[in-house]
């Protein structure tokens, strides 16, 4: 069995102290309840490998702090009837998924289930973007006043330093995104955690996906651009200045389109959502189609220009994924984004290109279990990973 201490200290920000093992065990018990609820104390001890007395103390703490609740009573042929435990679904997290022109604000429970969500269209004027997001957050909190909110998680389309003091790299944003953290904290009184969307999704795969947290994985977030989150050796790999994973800005075509980073033919210029929309319009598709969602619906209906555009995107996507497999050799590569909603149709093209080189045949390639909602669920992992429980 995996030692309890090895699974839930994902970012390695917490300093080594006498409290660290206790906090890790608490996280372990909480996550076992989350994934196996309803579950008894005896079963928690059995699957966690912890002493029953340790489990009992942690459970009482979690009940007292209102993270979990006692539910139904079990039936046994003999002996004491067990009381089953489950998450307190009145506790929730606000998830904020930022894109250059729009932001999705959602309420998720502690199990990552999306309870409610709204789309906030961002004003053209950069100075008005943050007030619009704050208004959207406050509106959703007010509409869900029956919930107790434990924090706000924000996924960003850019790279920041670990202290969130400066935006290091965000070629697709044109407004001061870093000031959103203190401004939302002041407006709501809630703690805010934020990270690059791909990093957040990598963390979410370990919390909510089918990864065991012990094997290396890479999450590739395909959106307006392409970002990668790398989970290796039990933690997120950030690199110097937080720039690890920027495969989207490796040149694929020296004569390709100009990228927001200033280079030409970067991977994201040929395999992102924006690239697919460009292929569609250059191939004779209607200029009225402005979103990836609309393009995918057309392709699913058999519109030839849409199908061709997504086929071209898929080939380039597979080519870049092959590069990641050869460079990092992870156990698995997970794709996040709108394209996953049509993976049954275009996934085989991605996988075929991915496997052209024998070096890329090792990793398992799959779409995210959450599809295009992965970035919202990742907000829960950001908040919970930073010591809420």
Alpha carbons 322 and 271: distance in angstroms, whole number: 13
Q: What are phi and psi of 198, to 5 degrees?
A: -70, -40
Per-position DSSP letters for 113-133, written without gaps between them: -EEEEEEEEPPSSGGGHHHHH
The two structure tokens encoding residue 285: 């598709």
Span 4-87 CATH architecture? Orthogonal Bundle (1.10)
Alpha carbons 19 and 272: distance in angstroms, whole number: 44
Nearest to 118 by CA among 91, 148, 139, 145: 139
Domain boundaries, the chain: 4-87, 91-201+375-385, 212-368
Angle (CA) 13 217 29, round 5°: 55
The SS3 call for residue 255 is coil
Residues in the chain: 389
Amino acid 2: pLDDT: 41
- Report the topology of domain 91-201+375-385: Nucleotidyltransferase; domain 5 (3.30.420)
Q: In CATH terms, are 91-201+375-385 and 212-368 the same topology?
A: yes
Q: Does domain 212-368 have CATH number 3.30.420.40?
A: yes
What's this model's pTM, rounded to 2 decimal places?
0.81
Alpha carbons 320 and 134: distance in angstroms, whole number: 36
Do 29 and 17 form a contact (C-beta atoms < 8 A)? no
Kind of pairing between the strands at 114-121 and 226-232: unpaired
Alpha carbons 284 and 305: distance in angstroms, whole number: 7
Nearest to 227 by CA among 169, 178, 280, 275: 169
Do 140 and 149 form a contact (C-beta atoms < 8 A)? no
The two structure tokens encoding residue 25: 């065990």
Ranges under pLDDT 70 in the chain: 1-20, 72-81, 158-178, 209-213, 358-361, 371-372, 386-389
Do 322 and 354 form a contact (C-beta atoms < 8 A)? yes
The two structure tokens encoding residue 220: 């590739």
Cα 208 to Cα 18, 100, 384, 387: the distances in Å are 28, 26, 12, 17
Looking at residue 264, what DSSP letter applies?
A: B
């Amino acid at each position: 069995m995996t030692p309890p201490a090895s699974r839930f200290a994902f970012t390695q920000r917490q300093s080594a102290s006498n409290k660290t093992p206790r906090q890790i065990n608490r996280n372990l018990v909480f996550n076992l309840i989350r994934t196996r609820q309803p579950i008894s104390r005896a079963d928690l001890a059995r699957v966690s490998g912890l002493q029953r007395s340790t489990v009992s103390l942690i459970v009482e703490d979690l009940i007292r702090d209102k993270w979990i609740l006692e539910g139904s009573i079990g039936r046994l042929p003999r002996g004491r009837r067990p009381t089953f435990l489950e998450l307190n679904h009145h506790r929730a997290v606000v998830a904020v998924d930022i894109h250059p022109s729009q932001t999705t604000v959602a309420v998720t429970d502690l199990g990552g289930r999306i309870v409610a969500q709204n789309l906030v269209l961002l004003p053209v004027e950069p100075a008005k973007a943050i007030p619009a997001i704050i208004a959207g957050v406050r509106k959703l909190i007010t509409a869900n006043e029956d919930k107790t909110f434990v924090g706000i998680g924000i996924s960003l389309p850019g790279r920041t330093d670990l202290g969130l003091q400066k935006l290091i790299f965000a070629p697709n944003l044109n407004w001061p995104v870093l000031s959103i953290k203190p401004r939302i904290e002041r407006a709501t009184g809630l703690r805010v955690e934020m990270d690059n969307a791909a990093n957040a999704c990598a963390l979410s795969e370990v919390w909510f996906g089918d990864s065991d947290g012990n094997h290396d994985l890479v999450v590739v977030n395909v959106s307006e651009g392409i970002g990668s989150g790398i989970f290796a050796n039990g933690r997120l790999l950030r690199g110097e200045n937080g720039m690890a994973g920027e495969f989207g800005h490796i040149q694929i075509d020296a004569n390709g389109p100009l990228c927001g980073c200033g280079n030409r033919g970067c991977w994201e210029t040929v395999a992102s959502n924006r690239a697919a929309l460009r292929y569609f319009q250059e191939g004779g598709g209607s200029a009225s189609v402005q979103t990836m969602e609309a393009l995918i619906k057309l392709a699913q209906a058999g519109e030839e220009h849409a199908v061709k555009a997504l086929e071209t995107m898929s080939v380039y996507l597979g080519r870049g994924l092959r590069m990641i497999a050869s460079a990092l050799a992870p156990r698995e590569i997970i794709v996040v984004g709108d394209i996953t909603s049509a993976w049954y149709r275009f996934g085989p093209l991605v996988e075929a290109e991915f496997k052209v080189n024998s070096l890329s045949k090792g990793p398992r390639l799959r779409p995210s279990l959450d599809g295009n909602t992965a970035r919202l669920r990742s907000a829960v992992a950001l908040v919970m990973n930073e010591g809420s429980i």
